[in-house]
């Protein structure tokens, strides 16, 4: 342990991703000194960002993926982005293990480096509404969030003003509009789908996706140049990532200290007050331990990592884990049911001229329409859909056509393009206390820290929803006269949508939740959790925008309370 005179920061932020970046920005701009601890390394954009890397620059030309290519990433390599271009942006599964019950897989996709998954995320950004925050009051299942849309709306505005969200104004009560930059354009095939669907169903809309990608210069960052490979990093910072926007803003104040390679093991508990007085850290490289001290601790380590830290922080005052007097820490794990989809070709557009639409790192969105005005007989809540319609590229055609040499090149150049379509459902998963994480008493990671045991499965409501979603996709394709070439009715295991939330839920009652409406643990007023762990229910929207807004709101509260001396 360190023996030199200790430095005490105003706040420690654990994690440097989407929420950690926002916590650092808000707290430093409000005058606090902040230490940001990141478990992984500092990236080198010139080496680690490969959005402009050509296939011929790679050993396997980008054609090889999966566990055979990356034997130390049997879980991560299942993700489309954990390939030869980007596998270094995902964790080593051998060093970072977890356990699950037999025949109940959970595919946990993770990134450990400065910026976390804000480097590789899909950037789809949708506000939640009171159809989500107050869902329990509508259908009687579970518990409402302790906050409403009105509570979060000004913080959505704040985040969007800084991040930049492109999209179209639609005035839908279940999907509130953001403060948008100019929307990206739909392709011809997407307009065909929109016309076919909206002419037949009044409650269904096909809109352009809402994406944290700049369509014009914004906050000193350049507009997107449409290279189309956002999952490999973005050297122009044209999409939101914390290293490209919030962390530099925090650094500009002179009040942020960033320490990479800092794996947080547990909270250090003040035995007199029960509050946290800092965190215990293991150096990722040397494995040496040290303690870092602060008056406030904000956990933004990602949903399951934040909960793991709380669970491993046992003491005489917190015998069942920090903040777990209710006994619900670790319960109510959720992820969107994913991989319910269909696709094929748009025959009426066969031979269309290549339109560069593959460079638009965005697609279309079908907002939730189930259980909005009518009650579905088979399930509660609902789903949204994401997809797109695009002209096939020469690279795509080249992979389909056999041959080599000059004749092969001529065939690829002159082959008529197919226009392909695909649409998938993001189905809401109900909060269920039996979907949970606990600490595995028999396994530790590379740094000697006990790992999570994850026990999670889809329920009957999700299965009924998935059946309806696939039928809906097919009838919408039929309305647009699209040809169906494949369907997928089998959902991926939980975790694979990479939208895991819950396990340290917010609530109005300390007996049934871990956090209050300010993301503050009921058991110690100087510890906050503002990432996805705080979710009381998941909705069907991609969660990152809401996580950032929640973080901005909580950190405003922290700054106010800190100045009053109430933390």
Task: Give 509-541 as a DSSP string.
Answer: -TTT-SB-TTSBBTT-TTEEE-SGGG-S---SS
- CA gap 557, 547 in Å, rounded: 15
pLDDT in the model for residue 371? 98
Q: What residues are paired with 279 via a beta bridge?
A: 267, 292
Is 175 part of any domain?
no
Q: What is the CATH number of the domain that holds 400?
A: 3.50.50.60
Is 272 part of any domain?
yes
Is 548 part of any domain?
yes
Domain that holds residue 442: 8-45+74-167+184-223+242-564
Helix 149-163 to helix 544-564 angle (10° resolution) is 100
Token pair listed for 142: 């579970």
Residue 189's H or E segment, with its range, is: helix 188-198
- Cβ distance 264 to 281 under 8 Å? yes
Q: Which of 218, 240, 220, 238 is nearest to 228 (CA)?
A: 238
> Which residues neighbour 490 within 8 Å (Cβ) at sequence distance 6 or greater?
339
The three-state secondary structure class of 429 is coil
The pTM for the full model equals 0.96
Is 69 part of any domain?
no
- CA gap 351, 353 in Å, rounded: 6
Q: Which of 259, 303, 302, 346 is nearest to 435 (CA)?
A: 303
Helix intervals (H) in 122-187: 130-133, 135-139, 149-163
Q: pLDDT averaged over consecutive 10-residue blocks of the chain (567 residues)?
A: 76 98 98 98 96 92 80 95 94 98 97 97 97 98 98 98 98 98 97 98 98 97 93 95 98 98 98 96 98 98 98 96 98 97 95 85 97 97 97 71 84 82 98 98 98 98 98 98 97 98 98 98 98 98 98 98 96
Is 58 part of any domain?
no
pLDDT in the model for residue 355? 83
**CA distances (Å), 423 to each of 191, 328, 336, 370, 463, in order?**
14, 36, 15, 17, 18
- Number of domains comprising the chain: 1
Is 155 part of any domain?
yes
**CA distances (Å), 448 to each of 96, 260, 307, 396, in order?**
10, 18, 17, 45
- CA gap 41, 180 in Å, rounded: 33
- CA gap 229, 232 in Å, rounded: 6
pLDDT in the model for residue 65? 76
pLDDT in the model for residue 408? 83
State in Å, rounded, how far the first CA of the chain is from the last one.
Answer: 27
Place of tokens 């028999």: 442
Is 234 part of any domain?
no
- Cβ distance 418 to 347 under 8 Å? no
pLDDT in the model for residue 66? 72
Is 433 part of any domain?
yes
């Amino acid at each position: 342990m360190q023996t030199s005179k200790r430095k005490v920061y105003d706040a420690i932020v654990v994690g440097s991703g989407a929420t950690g970046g926002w916590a650092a920005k808000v707290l430093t701009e409000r005058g606090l000194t902040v230490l940001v601890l990141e478990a992984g390394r500092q990236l080198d954009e010139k080496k680690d960002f490969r959005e402009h890397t050509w296939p011929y620059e790679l050993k396997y030309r980008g054609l090889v993926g999966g566990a055979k290519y990356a034997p130390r990433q049997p879980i991560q390599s299942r993700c489309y982005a954990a390939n030869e271009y980007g596998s270094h942006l995902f964790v080593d599964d051998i060093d970072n293990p977890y356990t699950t019950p037999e025949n109940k897989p959970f595919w946990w996709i993770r990134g450990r480096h400065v910026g976390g998954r804000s480097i590789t995320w899909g950037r789809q950004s949708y506000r939640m509404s009171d159809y989500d925050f107050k869902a329990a009051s509508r259908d009687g299942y579970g518990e409402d969030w302790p906050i409403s849309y009105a509570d979060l709306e000004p913080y959505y505005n704040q985040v969007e003003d800084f991040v930049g969200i492109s999209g179209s104004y639609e005035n839908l009560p279940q999907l509130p509009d953001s403060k948008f930059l100019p929307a990206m354009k739909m392709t011809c095939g997407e307009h065909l789908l929109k016309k076919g669907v909206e002419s037949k169903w009044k409650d269904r809309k096909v809109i352009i996706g809402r994406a944290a990608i700049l369509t014009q210069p914004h906050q000193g960052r350049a507009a997107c140049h449409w290279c189309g490979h956002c999952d490999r990093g973005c050297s122009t910072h044209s999409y939101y990532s914390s290293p490209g926007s919030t962390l530099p803003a925090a650094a500009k104040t002179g009040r942020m200290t960033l320490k990479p390679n800092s794996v947080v093991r547990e909270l250090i508990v003040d035995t007199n007050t029960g509050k946290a007085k800092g965190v215990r850290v293991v150096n990722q490289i040397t494995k040496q331990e040290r303690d870092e001290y602060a008056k406030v601790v904000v956990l933004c380590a990602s949903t399951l990592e934040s909960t793991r830290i709380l669970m491993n922080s046992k003491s005489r005052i917190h015998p069942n884990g920090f903040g777990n007097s209710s006994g619900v820490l670790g319960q109510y794990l959720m992820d969107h049911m994913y991989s319910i989809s269909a696709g094929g070709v748009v025959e009426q557009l066969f031979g269309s001229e290549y339109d560069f639409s593959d460079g638009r790192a965005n697609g279309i969105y079908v907002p939730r329409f189930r259980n909005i005005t009518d009650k579905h007989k088979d399930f509660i809540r609902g789903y949204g859909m994401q997809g797109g319609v695009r002209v096939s590229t020469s690279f795509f055609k080249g992979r389909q056509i056999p041959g080599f040499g000059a004749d092969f090149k001529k065939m690829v150049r002159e082959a008529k393009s197919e226009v392909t379509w695909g649409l998938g459902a993001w189905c809401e998963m109900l909060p269920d206390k039996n979907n949970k994480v606990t600490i595995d008493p028999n396994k530790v990671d590379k740094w000697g820290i006990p790992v999570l045991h994850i026990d999670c499965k889809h329920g009957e409501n999700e299965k009924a929803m998935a059946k309806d979603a696939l039928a809906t996709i097919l009838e919408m394709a039929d309305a647009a006269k699209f040809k169906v070439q494949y369907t997928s009715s089998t959902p991926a295991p939980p975790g694979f949508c990479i939208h895991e939330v819950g396990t340290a839920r917010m609530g109005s009652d300390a007996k049934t939740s871990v956090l209050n409406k300010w993301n503050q643990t009921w058991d110690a007023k100087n510890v906050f959790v503002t990432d996805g762990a705080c979710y009381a229910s998941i909705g069907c929207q991609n969660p990152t925008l809401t996580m950032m807004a929640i973080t901005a709101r909580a950190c405003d509260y922290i700054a106010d309370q800190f100045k009053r001396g109430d933390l």
